[in-house]
């Protein structure tokens, strides 16, 4: 029996092939000490071993994880508004906040830095920020404008024409493309139109594969990490999700409890969760990238009241939540780092906290 076991163990031991002929200076270095270049040259001589250089690529799910319960990080009382309909982040401590016909740039003290007056009179996702920090918004003439970083120069990016009225706009952080949610007052239908950063038309998403209209009133729009386009449709009471190319993936209409959905502000996070404000239940709901309900992330018990605007900060992993009827923006932490990422030069220590 012992002989058989020894034979089995011997069979499991990998056989060592003949070692390659090594240069004399490498053999010498192995007896006197070695450096990484010597080791690299040594291992490159063995076909079965492949060498790679550079930093290890760490998946985002290795960096952050869900906390057991969200924690209120800070609250910002914004002096320039009476309610918060939408939030677009410029930096971790500087955001654009809008209500019906009021759009202001504020910091974490709530002070107004700049105000835009020619904004469309809507309580929807009427502005966004591109990778250069420029504000892009829908003006009072239903056109898509861009405001320079110094807040001095306004240029028209896209001219919209009746009967299609833009309701929301979003700039893709991955491509720089603009996605505009529009509605047709004559037909009561909606569409999402994609443009490149120069304002040239790329794609229109309007129907599913059965030629049924996907949207009625696309109030808010965002993009997930997999490229999915996510629309909060206030008239259809659904979150409508399509692939980047426009194929309908699913529509989320509420949690398993059977409560209907009245969706408004939406965003996604580093783990591809979709977060949506629901005015029916006064909650922020979390679903996964495939439309499965995960949790009521924030409820009135967490201190929120009629949540309307959402923004996720991908550098600090903080969630900004705006209320429809108050000028207070609540900032929550619901994701925490598994370990510290010390090589992030853009981390803003003024708003982050040690989550270890």
Closest CA to 163 of 192, 188, 194: 188
Tell me whether strands 274-278 and 263-268 are parallel, antiparallel or unpaired: antiparallel
Please report the pLDDT score of residue 354 as a whole number: 40
Q: Per-residue pLDDT for 333 more than 60?
A: yes
Closest CA to 137 of 164, 114, 103, 165: 103
Average pLDDT, the chain: 84
Average pLDDT (190-202) is 96
pLDDT band at 60 (very low <50, low <70, confident <90, very high): low
pTM of full prediction above 0.75: yes
Walk across the sheet containing 127-129 and list its strands.
Answer: 127-129, 135-138, 144-147, 154-158
The pair of structure tokens assigned to 153 is 């120069």
Domains in the chain, start-ordered, CATH in brackets? 60-337 (2.120.10.30)
- Judged by average pLDDT, the poorest of 50-64, 250-264, 341-355 is 341-355
Residues whose CB falls within 8 Å of the CB of residue 243, separated by 6 or more in sequence, listed in order: 227, 228, 229, 249
Closest CA to 297 of 254, 253, 334: 334
């Amino acid at each position: 029996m012992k002989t058989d076991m020894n034979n089995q163990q011997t069979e499991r031991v990998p056989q060592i092939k003949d070692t390659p002929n090594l240069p004399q200076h490498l053999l010498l270095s192995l007896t006197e000490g070695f450096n990484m270049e010597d080791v690299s040259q040594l291992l490159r001589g063995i076909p079965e071993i492949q060498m790679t250089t550079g930093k290890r690529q760490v998946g985002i799910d290795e960096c952050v994880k869900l906390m057991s319960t969200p924690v209120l990080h800070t609250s910002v009382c914004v002096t320039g508004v009476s309610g918060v309909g939408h939030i677009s982040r410029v930096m971790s401590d500087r955001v654009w906040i809008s209500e019906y016909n009021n759009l202001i740039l504020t910091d974490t003290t709530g002070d107004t830095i700049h105000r835009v007056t020619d904004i469309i009179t809507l309580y929807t996702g009427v502005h966004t920020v591109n990778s250069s920090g420029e504000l892009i918004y829908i003006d009072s003439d239903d056109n898509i404008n861009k405001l320079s970083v110094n807040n001095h120069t306004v240029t028209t990016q896209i001219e919209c024409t009746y009967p299609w009225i833009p309701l929301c706009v979003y700039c893709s952080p991955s491509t720089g493309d603009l996605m505009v949610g529009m509605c047709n007052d004559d037909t009561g239908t909606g569409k999402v139109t994609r443009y490149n950063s120069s304002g040239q038309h790329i794609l229109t998403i309007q129907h599913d594969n059965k030629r049924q209209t996907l949207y009625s009133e696309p109030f808010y729009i965002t993009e997930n990490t997999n490229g999915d386009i996510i629309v909060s449709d206030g008239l259809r009471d659904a979150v409508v999700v399509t692939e980047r190319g426009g194929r309908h993936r699913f529509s989320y209409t509420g949690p398993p409890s059977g409560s209907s959905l009245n969706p408004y502000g939406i965003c996604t996070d580093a783990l591809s969760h979709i977060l949506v404000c629901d005015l029916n239940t006064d909650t922020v709901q979390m679903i996964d990238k495939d439309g499965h309900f995960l949790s009521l992330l924030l409820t009135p018990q967490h201190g929120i009241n009629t949540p309307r605007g959402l923004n996720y900060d991908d550098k600090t992993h903080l969630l900004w939540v705006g209320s429809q009827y108050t000028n207070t923006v609540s900032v929550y932490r619901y994701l925490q780092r598994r370990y510290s990422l010390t090589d992030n030069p853009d981390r803003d220590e003024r708003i982050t906290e040690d989550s270890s």
